[in-house]
Amino acid sequence: MRRLLIILTGAAFLQAAAPLHPQEVDAVRIRAAVERALPPVQRGLVSFQKNWSPASGTKDWPAVWKRIGCFSCHHEGLGLTTLSFLGRRGFAVDQGLARQEADVLRRAYGELAPVYRRALTDEKSAKEADPFDDIAVQMGYMLGGLIDSGHEPDETTDASARILMKHQQDDGSWTYTLAREPMQSSDFATTAMAARVLKAYAPKDAGPRADEALARARAWLLENRPETTDDLTFRLMGLKWLGATPDDIRKAVEAVKAIQRDDGGWAQVRTSKSSDAYATGLALVALNQGGGVPVTDPAYRHGVAFLLETQRPDGTWFVKKWAHGYNTYFDAGFPYGKSQFISLAGTCYAMMALASAVEPWDAEKELTALAKESDAPFVKNDAAFFERVLADEWTIITPDGKALDKAQHLREMKDGTLKVESSETLEMKVRVYGDAAVITGRGRWKAKDKGEPIGGTVRWTDVYIKRGGKWQCVASQVTPIAAESGTKRR
């Protein structure tokens, strides 16, 4: 009955469809769309916590929840996932905001951890732990955000995983009570996200029991029939997270592709009159991240074209609210009034889908250019360049075996102790390992150290890591090959 209500309500969802122009899909336009959407989303994440107040309906909340306040699936949870995803793709995400969002979730689950532990055996505490009857959905989005931000297992996640196992249904699924369409309206989504959290944060002493719970969740995803787009997409991602067979994942991919519409988009339910950014972004993320569908696939490109055509001038996407109004409404600062919460979620999924489709800047070329670029600033004594490129923890082992840190190196440049006369890169090799890289090379340089000529031909190694979309050097070593005539090795 609940599923029927969701589908019938979705039939009333209206949004203007966009014409499909797949030939206009190119990396420059896609990147620009993501960059245009990021500022309003980041402002929305900030204003949500700023604008929410206890007056928004906390009178009957348990004490622990009154202390925590409101943290939401569509803002803190999905918001943190989105910022983390875009940061890994090299977009200029506000890292301070990302840390703030993660801190909100860490503090909240730190407050809840003692309650969760008591709730394992005490019914009163169990009600306090889950007063809204949506613990699996809540943890799926919130702890999923922490997973995406790189949060390691700890005592807090241990307590959360234990209570999550207790809430698994006998058939292997996790469910919810109140339908808040579409983000809290699918047992497939709830089961997939809960299983992902359990897999990441399962207590060490619950190995066999956790494995059995995950196996039952995978079986449930395979044995039950998905109906909505949330069902189909989270079924696909859940099967990926839970290690399903390639054949099962292939079938799940085909099922998602099968409901793509002629305009290139997806709708939240089959009876919806038009596609929207929430369903389309979610479908593309699931196809790529869950199903391994390349961004060059025609279905993916058609979906990207739909998102590019339907983006609003302010960078956001409008998605019409059709969820039941269980919560007291307040203006959280994102556009579209009462449709702002689902519109923010739709914009987040759209950004992740588009970010995946951006032709990633060739990291090898980027680092090669950066390393070669350092020759000129070295000669010009451009300390500002090295202040930016060198990480604060950077150290270098010099040709004579000394270890210098960043502060010492910059000081020598600024006070004239080291004056470089020439620097030339002769050869270089770059190896990239995700967000880390090792550069080895051969070069020739001349300089004066406290007035004495130094230099020669050297081999060098630089180690880089990527932070906030920018490469920084964290360690260097220089080994002399031969000293130039009349100079000393430094």
Domain with CATH 1.50.10 in the chain: 2-357
pTM given for the model: 0.71
> What value does the mean pLDDT of the chain take?
86
pLDDT digits (tens, 9 = 90+) for 353-369: 999 998 555 677 778 87
pLDDT tier for residue 7 given thresholds of 50, 70 and 90: very low
**pLDDT computed for residue 412 by the predictor:** 83
More confident residue, 481 or 283: 283
Task: Tell me which of 180-194, 228-242, 464-478 is least confident.
Answer: 464-478
**pLDDT computed for residue 1 by the predictor:** 37
Could you confirm whether domain 363-482 is CATH 3.30.420.40?
Answer: no
pLDDT digits (tens, 9 = 90+) for 426-464: 898 988 776 788 999 998 888 888 888 887 888 989 999
**pLDDT computed for residue 53 by the predictor:** 59
**pLDDT computed for residue 5 by the predictor:** 40
The top-scoring range by mean pLDDT among 274-283, 372-381, 472-481 is 274-283
| Range 366-375, long-range pairs (CB < 8 A, 24+ positions) | 366/471, 367/430, 367/432, 367/437, 367/439, 367/464, 367/471, 368/428, 368/430, 370/471, 371/425, 371/428, 371/430, 371/439, 371/441, 371/462, 372/425, 372/428, 374/423, 375/423, 375/424, 375/425
**pLDDT computed for residue 50 by the predictor:** 78
pLDDT tier for residue 275 given thresholds of 50, 70 and 90: very high
**pLDDT computed for residue 54 by the predictor:** 58
pLDDT digits (tens, 9 = 90+) for 168-179: 999 999 999 888
2-357 maps to which CATH number? 1.50.10
Domain with CATH 3.10.450.50 in the chain: 363-482
- Is the pLDDT at 17 greater than 90? The verdict is no
**pLDDT computed for residue 52 by the predictor:** 64
